[in-house]
Structure 1
């Protein structure tokens, strides 16, 4: 648990430094060796986390130390349940990721194609490929989001990430290092896509 706490505090500062964790947004978690999970507590600024702001829950989301987890802990646990190899889950709130999903209100996925950065995703070895990041509508009911996104994530070829419309990006990996790489790569590609759209509009193409 001590290693997980330190890793989550570090990633919170990193994401805040990127501008991807404004106010108290975002939540992060890691799978523990004993079958439980380390998660961020509710309502803390992620750039100012201390190890006391990391708590543990069981597989049903019950607090094991009397602290209050984020409401979105259920979305983390759904990923751990669906993908036994997942060891860490991150949720970022960048302006680019939120803006992209708001700009395409009818889209239920966004295609990333030809980016060199695609090779940062697990199992991808060439830029000559494409990946569709699923988009699900936001809800205050986590069960609604889980029911909408889980079947799509279990489909063959699904990436280790999805977007919640107007809310942000979820990404995961076998460990915290891989989860960070997934989040950073997808956030970069989204920002690049939006920059390209701006250049094209500016040039009249």
Structure 2
């Protein structure tokens, strides 16, 4: 399946991420320069937050463009867009790469450090996923089935980030796994994506609600 056409101006992508990052920062999900956000510019490039930036005070100078390619493939560390050579992408850029390259239509990928997702990942690590059912907010993930049962996958938080990207890449190589627009990294945080930044933000907020719901309910079933 080919990607649909995307054409987001550089300035629009940056302004959108500045606004959304500030919102997540205010929730306490992007503290201490943690997390990273990216938005697709066109069919071959995306814009991502630079490493070490305060997500509550981002400026248009805190982003760099990268070319979409599966992790490890030639071209993954370049872009046709001019980039300040002093900027470094997040170490987790390769996970964004895997998501863009594997899931057709993704227009934005947001990674936040929301605490309940970490709690649930530790509790449910042996299951390999956090399981949820019947919560009304599951509809926020675009799942409108009656009495839905979903599983949000959990991946090990390897010190070698490309190892995480490789596992996410393998998971997303099966189109059946595209139904859930996110993955959780154990004791770390989750990645959520969508066809637009608005949809990615909605998914971030929906996952935050669902993880807290699951934790306070007291089980992952």
Please name the residue that 1:131 is paired with: 150
Question: Secondary structure at the residue paired with 1:128?
Answer: coil
Gaps of 5+ in 1: 199-205
User: d(CA) in 2 for partners of 1:84 and 1:105?
Assistant: 28
Counterpart check, 1:140 vs 2:140: no
CA contact (8 A) 1:115 1:127 kept: no
Question: Which whole-Å deviations, capped at 9, do the CAs of 1:75-131 have from their partners, x for residues lacking one?
Answer: 001110001300000001011111211233423111111010011113x11451111
Q: TM (normalized to structure 2)?
A: 0.84
Question: Secondary structure at the residue paired with 1:49?
Answer: coil
Please name the residue that 2:54 is paired with: 45
Alignment RMSD (CA, Å)? 1.6
Which of 102, 114, 128 lines up with 2:134 in the alignment?
Answer: 114
CA contact (8 A) 2:33 2:52 kept: yes
Alignment of 1:1-205 (within 5 A): 1-33=10-42, 35-59=44-68, 60-62=76-78, 64-65=82-83, 66=85, 67-122=87-142, 124-126=143-145, 128-155=147-174, 156-157=176-177, 158-197=179-218
User: d(CA) in 2 for partners of 1:45 and 1:169?
Assistant: 19
Shift of 1:34: 5.9
**Stretch of structure 1 that moved more, 163-172 or 150-159:** 150-159
Please name the residue that 2:3 is paired with: none
What is the number of equivalent residue pairs in this alignment? Answer: 197
CA contact (8 A) 1:61 1:74 kept: no
Question: Secondary structure at the residue paired with 1:185?
Answer: helix
